Amino acid sequence: MECINVRKEIERLVYLDNQNLGDEIYRHIESCRACAQYLEETRLVAGKIAGIRHREPILKNPEGFTEDIMKAIQIDSKENHFQITEKSGKFPVITFLQRLLAAASVCLFLVFGYEEYVVVDKISRLEKQNAAISQSSQYRSALKLKKTISILSADPEMLNQYTELKTKKINLRTLLKAAMYADVAGITPDAPGWLKRSDYNASISPFMSILKQFDSTHYTIQR
């Protein structure tokens, strides 16, 4: 017999009240010092455990303990009786209706939940498509504008017309300013004579500077 099997047997037999090990194990132990020591230690440990096993915990006041249990089961019996009486009445119908209602609400939740999901999914897809279309139309308009600008800037006649229009606009603005000054100074084309010379010069000087500005453009205003 091998040491490992001998020790297993020692473990198995020694623990509960130190049962007889058998001749085969005793023969092995006589020739094996390690297993002999193992047996000695196991017996020591098993003896200690047996000592604890024999120290039976004592239940204090066992009669009172039993009475407490009996009181508890009497209360329990009354509660159970009440439950049984309830069950024999309307209870099963109510339970059935409650369960039916719960099942129906679960079904409704599933159906409407799915519908909601489908609608939300469609809306989000449409929103995505819309955003894509809007972006592409903006891009196309920008491209169109860029193309127009490049065509216009490439044509010299168009460029000239543009410059002329710009000059005309500046001249018109200058003339408007001059007219405003003249109006403030009370100068009319037909009767400036009643003004004194000094007053006339004081009023006319800003007007003249505007006219000079107008002349510097080297363009005549045509109505």
Partner 1 sequence: MLTDLQEIIESVKKGDQAAFRRIVEEYRQQAFSLAFRIMCDEEEARDVVQESFIKVWQKIETYDMTQKFSTWLYKIVANSAIDRLRQIKRHNLVNLEKVISQLDHINREITQMEVDNKETTELIRWLAEGLPEKQQIVFVLRDLQGIESSEVRQILNLSENSVKSNLYHARKAIREKLLKVIK
Residue 55 binding partner 1, by CB under 8 A = yes
Stretch that binds partner 1, among 8-16, 28-36, 139-147, 211-219 (CB under 8 A): 8-16
Which of 29/182 has CB closer to partner 1? Answer: 29
- Binding flags for partner 1, 68-107, as an x/- string (CB under 8 A): xxx-xxx-xx------------------------------
End-to-end Cα separation, the chain, in angstroms: 135
Identified binder of partner 1 from the candidate list 4, 33, 60, 218, rule CB under 8 A = 60
Which of 44/102 has CB closer to partner 1? Answer: 44
96-105, long-range: CB < 8 A, 24+ apart:
none
Identified binder of partner 1 from the candidate list 1, 2, 5, 11, rule CB under 8 A = 11
Count of residues for the chain? 223
Identified binder of partner 1 from the candidate list 18, 66, 98, 135, rule CB under 8 A = 66
Which DSSP string do the residues of 102-145 spell out, in sequence order?
Answer: HHHHHHHHHHHHHHHHHHHHHHHHHHHHHHHHHHHHHHHHHHHH
Encoded tokens for 86: 């309830």
Identified binder of partner 1 from the candidate list 4, 23, 59, 223, rule CB under 8 A = 59
Question: How far are the Cα atoms of 37, 47, 49, 112 from residue 44, in angstroms, in the given order?
Answer: 11, 5, 9, 74
CA angle 192, 198, 204 (to 5 degrees): 55
| Helix-helix angle 91-154:156-185, to 10 degrees | 90
- In the block, which residue shows the tokens 């989000």? 124
Stretch that binds partner 1, among 48-56, 131-139, 141-149, 151-159 (CB under 8 A): 48-56
Residues 6+ apart with CB under 8 A from 20: 13
Which of 55/218 has CB closer to partner 1? Answer: 55
Stretch that binds partner 1, among 20-28, 45-53, 151-159, 170-178 (CB under 8 A): 45-53
Stretch that binds partner 1, among 62-70, 90-98, 105-113, 197-205 (CB under 8 A): 62-70
Binding footprint of partner 1 on the chain (CB under 8 A): 11, 15-16, 41-42, 44-45, 48-49, 52-53, 55-60, 62, 65-66, 68-70, 72-74, 76-77
